[in-house]
């Protein structure tokens, strides 16, 4: 087996009536486990290597438990005897996804802060995530939903369907330390929220996207976008998803940036950049680059400025032209807004 084993996790999940996985909850995924730990698991379960998932019975859990570290032993004790399906998923390598348990493990690795967005192979994820009804009684297969709703009504209950989606909300699986999330349904499992992040009511963080922390998110962080420390995404602001429109720019927002209310970016930004409120910069936006005396020095497309620092983007109120000037003001987030005590 690969001495640089990627990850494993013990989980408990939900299957439909046909035995197909709908979702898996992994309380404490292990990233880059020790070779001796994997060898002990292999001996207990007859694991031969590769990326796979093995359903666990009470008997196999008992065989496995003595070979695990203390945290994993505690998980085994908590799920022993459950009638819900239990599973151990082993990822020897960071390969394309081949099953629903594998997909859920990689989403957990992101939300547990083991890996940053774009540092994990998520190829095939949509094919491995079934579209599910997320209810107050857990995940339900869409084909089985009408029956479940009828039975609930017969008991005098209401089955609340909060969402119909491939991705659940993150906080039903992971609540990272040191964050505030005003509306939990707006952060998907697979989001990465760094220490000190605040996501306001209208903020949204997709899977494989997130914040280094501390950050204020009042707008939308699309798939593949990482926002670095000290930056603020204003109300109604947005970021284009990675490779949006077939382009080749991987988006990120540098440190100490401000994207104003209802503004947005389709190019990566370096550090200390500002986009004024209401201005959306796309890769093809025509930009006038001005020097410190406000003289035009060049006319470029915004993609030519990708990744540069200390840029201030504004729209000239007289001409309507988009201008890029040197940002002479440092942007600092109000520390009171990021207190999670």
Kindly list the distances between the CA atom of residue 179 and the CA atoms of 140, 182, 213, 259, in Å, as whole numbers in the listed order: 29, 10, 9, 21
Measure the CA–CA gap between 167 and 189, rounded to whole angstroms.
6
- Whether residue 192 contacts residue 207, with contact meaning beta carbons closer than 8 Å, is answered with no
Peptide bond into 182 cis (omega under 30): no
Tell me phi and psi for residue 40, to 5 degrees.
-65, -40
Measure the CA–CA gap between 340 and 177, rounded to whole angstroms.
10
Contacts 24+ apart (CB under 8 A), 77-86: 78/27, 79/10, 79/12, 82/12, 84/12, 84/13, 84/14, 85/12, 85/13, 85/14, 85/15, 85/21, 85/55, 86/10, 86/11, 86/12, 86/55, 86/56, 86/57, 86/61
Q: To the nearest 10°, the Cα dihedral for 246, 132, 225, 6?
A: -100
- Whether residue 227 contacts residue 201, with contact meaning beta carbons closer than 8 Å, is answered with no
**292 assigned to active site:** no
Kindly list the distances between the CA atom of residue 140 and the CA atoms of 32, 98, 209, 212, 213, in Å, as whole numbers in the listed order: 33, 22, 26, 34, 34
Structure tokens given for 49:
């290597």
Catalytic residue among 102, 144, 218, 332: 218
- Whether residue 315 contacts residue 279, with contact meaning beta carbons closer than 8 Å, is answered with yes
Residue (of 256, 237, 328) closest to 290 by Cα position: 328
Which alpha helices (DSSP H) does 115-272 contain, by range? Answer: 125-128, 145-154
> Where in the sequence numbering do the catalytic residues fall?
218
């Amino acid at each position: 087996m690969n001495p640089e084993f990627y990850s494993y996790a013990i989980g408990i999940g939900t299957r439909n009536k046909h035995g197909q996985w709908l979702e898996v909850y992994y309380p404490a995924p292990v990233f880059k486990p020790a070779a001796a730990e994997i060898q002990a698991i292999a001996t207990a379960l007859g694991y031969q290597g590769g990326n796979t998932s093995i359903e666990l019975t009470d008997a196999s859990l008992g065989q496995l438990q003595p070979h695990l570290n203390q945290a994993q032993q505690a998980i085994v004790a908590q799920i022993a005897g459950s009638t819900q399906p239990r599973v151990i998923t082993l990822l020897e390598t960071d390969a394309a996804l081949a099953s629903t348990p594998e997909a859920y493990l990689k989403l957990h690795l992101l939300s547990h802060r083991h890996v940053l967005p774009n540092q994990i192979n998520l190829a095939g994820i949509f094919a491995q995530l079934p579209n599910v009804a997320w209810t107050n009684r857990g995940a339900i297969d869409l084909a089985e939903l009408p029956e479940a709703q009828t039975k609930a009504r017969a008991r005098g209950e209401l089955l609340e369907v909060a969402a119909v989606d491939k991705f659940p909300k993150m906080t039903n699986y992971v609540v990272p330390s040191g964050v505030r999330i005003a509306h939990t349904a707006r952060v998907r499992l697979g989001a990465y929220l760094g220490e000190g992040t605040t996501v306001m009511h209208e903020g949204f963080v997709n899977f494989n996207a997130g914040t280094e922390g501390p950050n204020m998110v009042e707008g939308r962080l699309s798939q593949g976008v990482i926002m670095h420390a000290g930056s603020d995404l204003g109300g109604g602001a947005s970021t284009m998803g990675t490779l949006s429109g077939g382009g080749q720019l991987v988006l990120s927002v540098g440190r100490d940036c401000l994207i104003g209310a209802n503004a947005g970016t389709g190019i990566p930004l370096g550090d200390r950049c500002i986009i004024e409120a209401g201005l959306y910069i796309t890769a093809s936006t025509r930009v006038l680059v001005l020097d410190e005396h406000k003289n035009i020095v060049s006319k470029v497309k915004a993609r030519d400025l990708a990744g540069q620092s200390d840029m201030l983007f504004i729209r000239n109120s007289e001409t309507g032209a988009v201008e890029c000037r040197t940002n002479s003001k440092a942007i600092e987030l109000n520390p009171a807004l990021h207190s999670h005590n």
